[in-house]
Every structure is written in C-alpha cells, then in structure tokens.
C-alpha cells in the first residue's frame, strides 16, 4: 500500500497558487476507513475554480483536485464495504477538505461511499458525476414538491453545460416537456436529440417584469443572475424553480410576487453536502432513467490528468460543451506543474 501513484495536486503557499500532476503515496492522503483504487473522475465547474484558484474552493492545502470519483475498493476497515466492491463518491468534501478524485487512490470515510448502482458502469457514473447528481437532486426535490408534467414545460437554463445537458435528458426521460435555454444556437440539434422539445435563445426567455405570463411549469437554473429572476416571473402557479448554479452571478433581483400570488417555490439544490439517505434516492433515480447507451449518446470527452488545465480554461471561458470524463490510469506525465495567476 506504500506504492506511489499519480495525482493532480493543488498547492497554495509561498510559491503561489499552482496545480499539476505529481506522485504521492497513500500516507499523504487525508484520513478515511475506505481506500478506493480510482478508475474515473469527471470535470465540473467547481473543479475548474479549484484547479485554477479562480474560486475559493479548497479549505486547506495541499489537496488533490476532483470532486468526484469511481473505482474499486482496495482496503476497508468498515463492515459496509469490502475489497473488490465497485463504488463512487461525489462531493462529500472531496477537493475541499479531503483529497479528491484526480488521483490513483482516494481514502475517505465510508459514510460518503455509494455502491455502484445496478445497470451503470464506473465510467457511466462519472459521465453523470456531480453534474448528473445535481440534475437528479433537482428532479427529486421538484417531484417531492408536487411538480408534474401537467403544470407545463420545464425550462432548463444553461442547457449545453454539464448540469443543463444532463437535466435536459433526465427531465425528458422522466416524462416532462423540456424547453432548453442556451446561448449556443449551434447546439440546438443536439439538445433536441437528447429530449428537448424546444430550444430557446437566452434573450427569448428573459423578462424584466416582476411577474409575467405563466410560460413554464417549472425550471432548472444552473446559471443564476437575471435569468433566474426571469424564470421565477414566468413560472406557473405552484411550479418549482430549482437553483443550482451561479455562473452569471450570485445576486437575485426579484420580487415576492411569484411566491405570494402564484405559490411558486424556489428550491435550493446543494449537492455537495447532501445526506446519505437522499444520495441513495438520487442515484436510484438516475439509474432508473439512464443507461450506458443513452449516456454514451451525450457529448463526452475523455482525458487524462495532464489534460485538466486546458479543460479548466475552456470551462471558465465559456467554451466547454457537454461532459468531460477523466480516466485515471497512472500514465500521465509526472511533475508537470501549472501556475495560475
């Protein structure tokens, strides 16, 4: 267990904020009673913020990046998991307070480990990753708050991003009519191929009124800013708007009118700290609606650890499209360090 392995490690010290591929041993990892031989991870917006220092994600240094991982249990000091078990972890402090999934090994308390859902592979669950989990949590919370297809179409804002793309496909599979909102009209055909009934330009979905015509039965917003207020203003009585992103800003300029006149609910989707019982429900829901073939039909890139800096920059500049899976194979170039200013 003392063998070295590759990781993508993030530092912030006297030499500055930097990240890159290096080798470490198990003893360098944060504590836990389960050791996972990592096969795959994924790239989320939060990973790009952490890897470049553009957001204050890590609470201690150094740590391995990557808020997701899937793999095989190598060692377990708990009765819940045994060596050979296929498992996954999303959020749960990875790349915040614990060493993350961009690593040949992850060591973590068993409470955060989820058995691989039936019908999905280790790669499948990382195509989903935190982005898919967030979309699944939005669906679960909306269903629990009595969202039905009869209320009207679901607007998905930021539909070409990771969360938005997976929400578009997931809500369509769950029986909802989906209206995808995107600033990238060249991807309209793709969005329709995964389930969108309509694709709307951002300007076509904006409203500057405190309450407008009820256009949508509900919405999933992974962007924030003015569009979130617009969606609230255009949601039908007793519909739900799930908020799960802040790419366009953290401020919400809205009135209480949609809430007190139409009974609209604004649901916060906080995926990172979701308690275990809810996590199990979300993964059950995801496995019900997705399979390997449908996930492979999405726009997927597969990279190694050394490819992370380019993906981070693409994501932060708004040029990313779809999902990126990181294959952890121990073959990345060692000691390649990237400094971010």
Reported as a single tens digit per residue, the pLDDT across 209-219 is 999 999 999 99
pLDDT of residue 273: 86
Nearest to 49 by CA among 313, 326, 319: 313
On the question of pLDDT at 23 being above 80, the answer is yes
On the question of pLDDT at 2 being above 90, the answer is no
CATH number, residue 262: 3.40.50.720
Residue 289 domain-assigned? no
Q: Which of 84-88, 186-190, 321-325 has the lowest mean pLDDT?
A: 321-325
More confident residue, 221 or 273: 221
Q: What pLDDT digit, counting tens, does each position of 277-322 carry?
A: 999 999 999 999 999 999 999 989 999 999 999 999 999 998 888 8
Mean pLDDT of the chain: 94
pLDDT of residue 251: 87
Q: What is the mean pLDDT of residues 44-50?
A: 95
- Tokens 């003893």 locate to 27
Query: What is the rounded distance in angstroms from the CA atom of residue 168 to the CA atom of residue 220?
Result: 9
CATH number, residue 83: 3.90.180.10
- The domain of 53 spans 5-119+296-339
Residue 231 domain-assigned? yes
Q: Which of 38-52, 122-136, 313-327 has the lowest mean pLDDT?
A: 313-327
Residue 288 domain-assigned? no
198's CB contacts (< 8 A; 6+ apart) are 153, 178, 179, 180
pLDDT of residue 336: 41
Q: Are 239 and 261 in contact (CB under 8 A)?
A: no
Residue 322 domain-assigned? yes
Q: What is the mean pLDDT of residues 114-128?
A: 98
246's CB contacts (< 8 A; 6+ apart) are 223, 224, 225
Query: What is the rounded distance in angstroms from the CA atom of residue 117 to the CA atom of residue 137?
Result: 16
pLDDT of residue 250: 86
273's CB contacts (< 8 A; 6+ apart) are 91, 92
On the question of pLDDT at 338 being above 50, the answer is no
Beta carbons within 10 angstroms of residue 186's beta carbon: 9
Confidence tier at 167 by pLDDT (50, 70, 90): very high
Q: What is the mean pLDDT of residues 233-254?
A: 92
- The reply to whether 145 and 262 lie within a common domain is yes
pLDDT of residue 1: 52
- The reply to whether 210 and 302 lie within a common domain is no
- The reply to whether 308 and 198 lie within a common domain is no
Percent of the chain predicted with pLDDT > 70: 96
- The reply to whether 103 and 167 lie within a common domain is no
- The reply to whether 68 and 115 lie within a common domain is yes
Residue 125 domain-assigned? no
Nearest to 209 by CA among 176, 232, 237: 232
On the question of pLDDT at 117 being above 90, the answer is yes
Q: Is 44 exposed, middle or buried (0-12, 13-18, 19+ CB in 10 A)?
A: buried
Whole-prediction pTM = 0.93
Which segments of 178-321 are extended strands (E)? 178-182, 196-201, 218-221, 240-243, 265-268, 300-303
């Amino acid at each position: 267990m003392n063998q070295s392995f590759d990781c993508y490690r993030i530092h912030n010290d006297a030499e500055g904020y930097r990240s890159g591929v290096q080798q470490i041993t198990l003893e360098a990892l944060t504590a836990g009673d389960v050791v996972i031989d990592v096969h795959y991870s994924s790239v989320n917006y939060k990973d790009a913020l952490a890897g470049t220092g553009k957001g204050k994600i890590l609470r201690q240094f150094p740590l391995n990046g990557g808020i997701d991982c899937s793999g095989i249990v190598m060692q377990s000091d708990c009765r819940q998991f045994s060596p050979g078990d296929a498992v996954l972890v999303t959020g749960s402090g990875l790349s915040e307070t614990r060493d993350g999934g961009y690593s040949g090994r992850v060591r973590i308390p068993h409470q955060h480990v989820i058995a691989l859902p039936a019908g999905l592979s280790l790669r499948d669950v990382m195509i989903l990753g935190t982005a898919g989990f967030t979309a699944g949590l939005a669906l679960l919370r909306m269903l629990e708050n009595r969202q039905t297809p009869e209320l009207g179409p679901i607007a998905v804002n930021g539909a070409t991003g990771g969360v938005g793309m997976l929400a578009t496909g997931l809500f369509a599979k769950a029986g909802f009519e989906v209206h995808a909102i995107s600033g990238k009209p060249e991807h309209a055909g793709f969005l329709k191929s995964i389930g969108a009934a309509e694709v709307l330009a951002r300007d076509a979905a904006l409203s500057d009124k405190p309450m407008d015509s009820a256009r949508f039965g509900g919405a999933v917003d992974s962007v924030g800013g003015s569009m979130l207020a617009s969606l609230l203003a255009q949601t039908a009585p007793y519909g739900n708007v799930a908020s799960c992103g802040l790419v366009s800003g953290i401020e919400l300029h809205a009135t209480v009118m949609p809430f007190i006149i139409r009974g609209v609910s604004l649901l916060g989707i906080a995926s990172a700290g979701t308690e275990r019982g809810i996590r199990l429900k979300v993964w059950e829901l995801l496995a019900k609606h997705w399979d390997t073939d449908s996930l492979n039909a999405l726009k997927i890139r597969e990279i190694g650890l050394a490819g992370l800096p380019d993906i981070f920059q693409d994501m932060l500049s708004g040029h990313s499209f779809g999902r990126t899976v990181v294959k952890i194979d121990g073959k990345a170039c060692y000691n390649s360090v990237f400094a971010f200013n």
